[in-house]
Amino acid sequence: MNDKITQAIEQVCKQLFDSDVVVALERPDEQFGDVATNVAMQLAGTLGENPRQIAEKIAAGLRETVADMVDEITVAGPGFLNIRLSDQELWKATQHSPLQKYAGQKIVAEYSDPNPFKILHAGHIFTTVIGDAIAKLLELAGAEVHRVNFGGDVGLHVAKTMYIVLQQFDGENPTKLADIPEEKRSEWIADAYVKGHAAYLDDEAAKAAIIELNKCVYQLHADDDHDSPFAQIYWTCRQWSYEAFDVFYERLGTKIEKYYPESETTELGMEAVTKHIGDVFEKSEGAIIFRGEKYGLHNRVFINQQGLPTYETKDVGLILKKYQDYHFDRSVVITGNEQEQYMGVVLKAIEQFLPKLAQATTYIPHGMLKLTGGVKMSSRLGNIVRANDVLDITAEALRESGHKPEDYMLLAAIKYAFLKVRLGRDLVYDPKESVALEGNSGPVILYARARARSILKKAAAAVDTSNNTALEANERSLLRKITEYTEATNKAIEELMPHNICTYLYELAQDFNRFYEHNRVLGDPREAVRLRLVASYADTLQAGLQLLNITASDEI
RNA sequence: GCGCCCGUAGCUCAGCGGAUUAGAGCACUGGUCUUCGGAACCAGGUGUCGCAAGUUCGAAUCUUGCCGGGCGCACCA
């Protein structure tokens, strides 16, 4: 619909002024019309004419070419061109056709990134929900999306965990693994990490032992060792971590199709970095570094003094590995913004020897998750808020408000709360507010949808889809709001920011509530048309919720 | 010290260059309705849009400086 109007305006401008302006349509205040454009003001500069006069000329031309689609075309203010569509065109506009910005593209979306040998913390649930919503947006825009994550199965944190495990097992005794009950595995690993981390900080001997273990873990991978007692413990613990991730993702309603462990990216990374010592990387104090300061960035170590790859090199390997596996058109990487500058350095380094891969990468940083009261959650400290804690405090909030903490409601509350603020901002999470039955919350949207579905179920009349019934002003107003879904999703796609969807859904629900309060549907002479409105409204809410990966229910 | 991000009503946030009064929700106050799911609707009012300059016909929105907060700055991830 908008395409036709846009084309018509461009055509008229071409005919009248021989101008090739690109027309951008906006959504004006309702009193002015359904769509508007400021082309006349743009043209005024180049043509040296009064923008209002230009607008009048364009309006006259348009009245000829799009007469069948519009009710009224007016000129207002400094030269805005306002167009009021016909009812039929508005109905057509409820058939949403999202911007196909990524049509036919294969996109690898990396997010969540939990580390095996550690526990999932609150930040992971946040980043996973955000990553999921972005993946959904990419799919809506026509992409084939592959969801992957990246986690450290080698490195100091692994050595810290293994140090305590070995202590508890009285050495390399894999048979002791059987003593750990299945349901206690992730807690047990988490606990070992926390203790290992503390030992590393407090105890010099432990620190030395952990550094040694770190090398052992790298060696284990180099040797492809699956048989030694040490290796058996290592691989089993890694597997247990991955199983815990599977459970977590399933509960959140997502599926990560591939877990990239760092161990599988080190070789490719080392190869690439080593190959470019001299032209891209350089030696410094016994390490191999990238001199980011040449580009206004930080210098970073890629291979440390012991000859081991740092995270930087593993990330270089990761992008190569992803490309080997998928031959993607675009790689989207989503992480917390504390890594933003780090990422800048890695991408700049990659740009030096693989410019195409760097250009095909979209990095999306998001903010930090905080609890009400401003408590920040750290992944390094032992006293962290765990991912499950977030689910638990939300369940508790539901109970306190007198509701069953069913998962669909729990997740709707959490996901919506996480997604409703502009991407990039820190989020202050208030579980009470997230489950609130009023205000801009997930449960409110769920309820709004359930209510609309209930009306439709009770309806006796057939829905009037004829376009023969002229709409009343308040009906038309609601319909207009429903058609805005397309703009909301397009904006979300364009910016890759899901909060646009939340903002819109809430506005829509508010508008509907107002309409519904003052207009009867069932039993009213206008029931048939109004049912069509209610159905369209319910469908729109449903589409929006799906985009946010929120599951709705008809019975609440 | 340098760099990146952020600063909008008491609180949580939209708005991120255009239509002379900057919007929601929460909280607070009053009202409507024997309610198609009342988890509703209506009314009531607060803001030097951190501060100051600049660009523009026009700035919460762009630029610069300052103030305040968060994060990052070499062998952790």
Report CA dihedral (A391, A394, A399, A404) to the nearest 10 degrees: -60
pLDDT the model gives residue A383: 62
Q: Strand B and chain A: which residues 482-521 have CB closer than 7 Å?
A: 499-500, 503, 506, 510, 513-514, 516-521
Q: Residue A147 has what DSSP assignment?
A: E
The arrangement of strands across the sheet holding A300-303 comes to A282-284, A287-290, A300-303
Distance between CA A313 and CA A319 in Å, rounded?
Answer: 10
A332 bridge partner residues? A109, A362
Contact predicate A313/A269, CB 8 Å:
yes
Enumerate residue ranges in chain A where pLDDT < 70. Answer: 1, 45-46, 48, 373-383
Q: How far is the CA of A439 from the C1' of B26 (A)?
A: 7
Q: Strand B and chain A: which residues 214-243 have CB closer than 7 Å?
A: none
| Residue A351, number of CB atoms within 10 A of its CB | 16
Q: What is the 3-state secondary structure (H, E, C) of A466-500?
A: CCCCCCCHHHHHHHHHHHCHHHHHHHHHHHCCCHH
- Say how many CA atoms lie within 13 Å of A521 toward its Cβ: 28
Q: Residue A169 has what DSSP assignment?
A: T
Name residue A146's amino acid.
Answer: H
Q: How far is CA A257 from CA A149, A246, A266, A315, A323, in A?
A: 8, 10, 21, 19, 15
Interface predicted TM-score (ipTM):
0.93
A330 bridge partner residues? A107
The answer to whether strand B lies under 7 Å from the CB of residue A425 is yes
Q: Which long-range contacts (CB under 8 A, 24 or more apart) does A201-209 make?
A: A206/A163, A209/A163
pLDDT the model gives residue A380: 39
Cα angle for residues A38, A44, A48 (degrees, 5° grid): 175
Q: How far is the CA of A495 from the C1' of B57 (A)?
A: 30
Q: Which long-range contacts (CB under 8 A, 24 or more apart) does A219-224 make?
A: A221/A154, A221/A263, A221/A266
Helix axes A311-326, A340-353, angle to 10 degrees: 60
pLDDT the model gives residue A263: 92
The answer to whether strand B lies under 7 Å from the CB of residue A284 is yes
Q: How far is the CA of A387 from the C1' of B1 (A)?
A: 37
Q: How far is the CA of A424 from the C1' of B49 (A)?
A: 20
The answer to whether strand B lies under 7 Å from the CB of residue A338 is yes
Q: How far is the CA of A508 from the C1' of B37 (A)?
A: 18
pLDDT the model gives residue A371: 78
What is the pTM assigned to this prediction?
A: 0.93
Q: Convert the pLDDT of each residue in A72-92 to its tens digit.
A: 888 877 777 888 899 999 999
The answer to whether strand B lies under 7 Å from the CB of residue A408 is no
Q: Convert the pLDDT of each residue in A219-237 to its tens digit.
A: 999 999 999 999 999 999 9
